[in-house]
């Protein structure tokens, strides 16, 4: 079976800046994959191309074996953006209705899944309040529920741990593991190294648009080099050697 996400020599240039530079990546189905890097490393740019919202300047991308720009491919993907600009006057149920409609789900399915998901992310008590009254962590939870609405094969999350309190993190980690155990693939960007080490099967570390490490967490972080945080800091510190800039 093809990989969930496959990139081959993908470059995305904005003028002279290569936001993503010759990136090759393989994310196996039914795995949790952490896409790491500091601000500006090229994570969001890559995610937008995986979602078919942006096209590479050169290189090739396959998602669930198809072209990411093809609606048939997108149907398999749930996405949570880095910054969610939801309509502030909607409440969480209405938000789910809105996205459910976009996904082409029928209203009854949406209602049932919305209730279950909002309960699951700890928002049931606030589901009838407008989103403008939500804290950052609550909006994050609403975003997670929205991304899961269509029960997607592939879940793409841009910095999902940012803004979550410790309790929410634990719950979210459990949720992602459960999804993986049901055969779903999760691809998320992060600079939360502790979370990533606990959760991920595979990781890639990005530095200035280039991938400087990729592989199984147990191979990369558990080979006597120390934990993932130490590896990450070492890789970033070796300026010039690997990333070339
Ligand atoms: N639309 C754009 N136009 C110009 N430069 C961009 C654009 N989008 C991203 N970049 C640049 O690409 C680089 C990578 O950005 P991004 O993918 O957002 O990084 P990350 O998500 O890892 O923080 C940055 O230098 C950023 O300024
Ligand atoms: Mg980003």
Please give the Cα distance from 128 to 89 (Å, whole number): 11
pLDDT, tens digit, 9 for 90 and up, residues 81-102: 987 788 999 999 999 999 998 8
Contact 60, 94 (CB under 8 A): no
Please give the Cα distance from 114 to 4 (Å, whole number): 26
Atom of ligand 1 nearest to the CA of 46: 17
Residue 135: CB atoms within 10 Å:
11
Which sequence spans correspond to the domains of the chain? 1-76+156-245, 79-151
Atom of ligand 1 nearest to the CA of 82: 21
Judge: domain 1-76+156-245, CATH 3.40.50.10470: no
What is the bridge-based pairing of β-strands 77-80 and 154-158? parallel
| 235 to 21, 54, 171, 204, 230: CA distances (angstroms) | 17, 28, 30, 11, 8
For position 88, what pLDDT does the model report? Answer: 92
pLDDT tens, residue order, the chain (245 aa): 789 999 999 999 999 999 999 999 999 999 999 999 999 999 999 999 999 999 999 999 999 999 999 989 988 999 999 877 889 999 999 999 999 988 888 999 999 999 999 999 999 999 999 999 998 888 988 999 999 999 999 999 999 988 888 888 888 899 999 999 999 999 999 988 888 888 999 999 999 999 999 999 888 877 555 588 888 888 888 855 544 44
Ligand 1 pocket test, candidate residues 13, 19, 50, most atoms within 8 A of CB? 19
Ligand 1 centre and the CA of 177: distance in Å? 30
pTM of the model: 0.92
Q: Whose CA is nearest to atom 3 of ligand 1?
A: 14
For position 243, what pLDDT does the model report? Answer: 45
Question: Nearest 5°: phi and psi at 36?
Answer: -105, 155
Question: Nearest 5°: phi and psi at 73?
Answer: -75, -45
């Amino acid at each position: 079976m093809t990989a969930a996400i496959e990139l081959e020599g993908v470059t995305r240039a904005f003028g002279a800046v290569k936001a993503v530079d010759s990136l090759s990546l393989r994310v196996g189905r039914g795995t949790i994959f952490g896409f790491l890097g500091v601000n500006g490393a090229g994570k969001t740019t890559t995610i937008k191309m995986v979602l078919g919202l942006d096209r590479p300047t050169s290189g090739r991308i396959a998602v669930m074996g198809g072209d990411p720009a093809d609606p048939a491919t997108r149907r398999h993907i749930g996405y949570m953006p880095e910054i969610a600009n939801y309509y502030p006057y909607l409440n969480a149920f209405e938000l789910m209705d809105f996205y459910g409609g976009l996904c082409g789900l029928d209203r009854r399915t949406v209602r049932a899944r919305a209730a279950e998901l909002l309960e699951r992310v700890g928002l049931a008590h606030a589901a009838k309040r407008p989103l403008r009254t939500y804290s950052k962590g609550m909006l994050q939870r609403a975003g997670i529920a929205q991304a899961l609405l269509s029960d997607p094969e592939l879940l793409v999350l841009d910095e999902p741990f940012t803004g979550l309190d410790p309790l929410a993190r634990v719950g979210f980690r459990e949720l992602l593991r459960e999804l993986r155990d049901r055969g779903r693939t999760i691809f998320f960007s992060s600079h939360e190294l502790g979370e990533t080490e606990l959760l991920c099967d595979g990781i890639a570390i990005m530095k200035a648009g280039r991938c400087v490490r990729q592989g199984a967490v147990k191979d990369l972080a558990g080979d006597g080099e120390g934990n993932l945080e130490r590896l990450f800091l070492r890789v970033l510190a070796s300026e010039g050697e690997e990333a070339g800039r």
